[in-house]
Amino acid sequence: MSEDLSSSELPQTDLARRWYIPYEMELMRRGAILVILICLPMFWIASLRGDGWQTIAMGLAGGLLAVWALQQKNRDIMLVSSALILFSGLMQAFFALEVKVAAIDVWYSTITVALGGGGLWVLSSPHMSRWLSSRLELEEAERGLARNNKLSPRWKAATTHAILLHFVVIVLVPIIWIIDVAFSPGQSASGELGISDWTITHFDAVLSGSDFWTWGLNSVIVSIGTTMVGLMLAIPAGYAFSRYKFSGHGIMMFSLLLVQMFPGIIILVPYFMVMKTLGLLNTSLGLILAYSVTALPFCVWMLKGWFDTIPRELEEAAALDGCTTFSTFWRIILPLSLPAIAVTALFSFLAAWNEFLLALVFNTDSSMYTLPVGLASYISEASARWGDFAAMSLIVSLPVVLLFIFFQKSLIQGLSSGSVKG
């Protein structure tokens, strides 16, 4: 029995030696591709600077050479390409120190030095050199296979974190910048970060000036008005669409969908004409009417979806107990639907709070601006008050962002099912 086992094991273990590729090879392959990828934006930056493309070209050559050498398992070329990458990173750091250190140089140098140095380190290990010259012992190959199994998920997770962190940085940089501008003195859009000179003068100016309160009040009136009008129209309609199959049911549902598909621009010009003729320009009512009907189809669809999940038996029981149609709706269905109504309300509130184009076209008088148009007016071609803008935009967006994050799950569900972007 034991003899049988050992005889069947023998070719397998031999296979292990033939199959074994050190995980370092995979890492170096990924590293080489990474170097090529980071060289592409660096070339663009070098072209903006009008200088320094030679070092990047060196890095790119190293990366390309490494890919080829890894394919060929050519150790000498691998060493040369690693050295090229390492040298490119060092040169970049050296030149940046001479002129001015920018974050992007630090980023490029760190990655290339780490990868190039790592490549040299890995290639000079005895294990790798034995493997490359096919002098690896059987036991070592088996241990290597086990090690690969352990290393692979770790490096995978590390790669995921590295990619995600890059995206997080890209997301956070503008936010950090605007916070810095809000707290820095002066009205310039300076790129110098630092908390040493932070003051709250801009917040002071914004909160004690009249702009913020006027525009904020307009925005609050318009958003709350939109929510109220929208809900008053959408709740009964959603309920009826869910429960009754009256004549014209299908065509009315279809017309809701159709409105959803109208691009805003086709409505913009005639809206303007109608509002102007009716004297509704520069009023809150004009915006409320326009917004509530824009959000209406989505609200109706979302509420209909909710009402569909409420069992009909509830209403039948209520009817048996002598409730009229309206009181069934009012006393039984509405209280059950409060969560869905809250999310719909939040959606129409946020949509109205953030809308820009209609507010820009309809309310041209600065005392009737909503916050979006008012904030944008701080940054005009003639004069840009970046400090005040930054402070006010932090005050405006903080509650919105918190609401969004707090309700993200239900909002996202509703939004992606109803196909509307906030």
Partner 1 sequence: MKYFFWIILAVFLLPVVSAQSLDVQSDSSAAGFKRVRVSVEIESFSGNGSLEFHVSETFHSAVVIIQGQAGEMTQPQVGEWYDDCWTSNNSGLNWTEIHRDENGQAHAFYSSPQILSIRCDLTGISQSKEDNLSVRLFDENQELDRIDTAIIALTADVLPPPPDSSPVLFAIGSIALTIIALFGYLRWKDRKSMNRHGLAFVLPAFLALVLLSFYPVAYGMVLSFTDAHEESIGDEEYNGLENYLDVFTSGGFLRVLFFTLVWTFTNVIFHVGIGGALAMLLQQKVRGKLAYRTLLLLPWAIPSYISVLVWKGMFHPEGLVNVLLGTETDFFSGVTEAQTMVILVNIWLGVPFMMMSISGALQSIPEDLHEAAKVEGVSDWARLRHITIPLLKPTVVPLALMGFIWTFNMFNVIFLLTNGGPQLWFGEPGGTDILITYVYDVAFVKGELGLAAAWSVVIFIMLMAFSWAYTKGSKATEAAV
Q: Which of residues 306-325 bind partner 1 (CB under 8 A)?
A: 325
Binding mask 47-86 for partner 1 (x = CB under 8 A): -xx-------------------------------------
- The rounded Cα 237 to chain-centroid distance in angstroms is 34
Return d(Cα 375, Cα 357) in angstroms, integer: 13
Give 149 or 325: the residue with its C-beta nearer to partner 1: 325
- The CB-of-28 to partner 1 minimum distance in angstroms stands at 19
d(CA 330, CA 317): 15
Nearer to partner 1, 125 or 186 (CB): 186
Nearest distance from residue 254's CB to partner 1, in Å? 8
Residues contacting partner 1: total by CB under 8 A: 115
- Pairwise CA distance, residues 323 & 317, whole Å: 9
For residues 105 and 211, which CB has a smaller minimum distance to partner 1 in the complex? 105
- Does position 110 interact with partner 1 (CB under 8 A)? The reply is no
State the binding string over 223-262 for partner 1 (x if CB under 8 A, else -): ---------xxx-xx-xxx-xxxxxxxxxx--xx--x-xx
Of 3 and 244, the one with the shorter C-beta distance to partner 1 is: 244
Smallest separation (angstroms) from partner 1 to the CB of 134: 26
Q: Does residue 71 contact residue 77 with C-beta atoms inside 8 Å?
A: no
**DSSP states of 240-302 as a string?**
HHHH---TTHHHHHHHHHHHHHS-HHHHHHHHHHHHHHTT-TTSHHHHHHHHHHHHHHHHHHH
- Shortest distance, CB of residue 300 to partner 1, whole angstroms? 6
Residue 347, interface with partner 1 (CB under 8 A)? no
400 in contact with partner 1 (CB under 8 A)? yes
Q: How far is the CB of 79 from partner 1 (least distance, A)?
A: 29
Q: Which is nearer to partner 1, 84 or 295 (CB)?
A: 295
Should residue 161 be labelled a site residue for partner 1 when binding is judged by CB under 8 A? yes
Phi, psi of 379 (to 5 degrees): -110, 75
User: Could you report how far apart the first and last alpha carbons of the chain are, in Å?
Assistant: 71
* Helices H / strands E in the chain, number of each: 20, 0
Identify the residue among 149, 199, 327, 419 touching partner 1 (CB under 8 A).
419
Q: Is 171 in the site for partner 1 (CB under 8 A)?
A: yes
Tell the residue number behind the tokens 């006393």, with chain if given: 331
412 forms part of the interface with partner 1 (CB under 8 A): yes
Minimum CB separation from partner 1 for residue 130, in Å?
28
Q: Give min distance, CB of 124 to partner 1, in A.
A: 30
Angle, helices 210-243/338-354, rounded to nearest 10 degrees:
140
Residues 6+ apart with CB under 8 A from 206: 212, 388, 391, 392, 395
- Write down the least CB distance from residue 69 to partner 1, Å: 23
Say if CB 45 and CB 104 are below 8 A apart.
yes
Report the nearest approach of partner 1 to the CB of residue 358 (Å).
10
- CB under 8 Å to 158, separation ≥6 — which residues? none
Q: How far is CA 302 from CA 30, 147, 234, 239, 244, in A?
A: 46, 53, 9, 11, 17
The CB-of-328 to partner 1 minimum distance in angstroms stands at 10
Distance from the Cα of residue 85 to its chain's centroid? 32
Q: How far apart are CA 421 and CA 412, in angstroms?
A: 10
List binders of partner 1 among 115-154 (CB under 8 A): none
Interface characters, 271-290, with partner 1 (x: CB under 8 A): xxxx-xxxx---------xx
Q: Residues 27, 67, 205, 293: which binds partner 1 (CB under 8 A)?
A: 293
Q: Which of residues 192-221 bind partner 1 (CB under 8 A)?
A: 192-193
- Residue (269 or 342) nearer to partner 1, CB: 269
Using CB under 8 A, which residues numbered 8 to 27 contact partner 1?
Answer: none
| Nearest alpha carbon to residue 290 among 342, 355, 238 | 355
**Cβ 14 to partner 1 shortest distance, Å:** 20
- Looking at the Cβ atoms of 68 and 407, the one nearer to partner 1 is 407
Side-chain-side CA neighbours of 68 within 13 Å: the count stands at 10
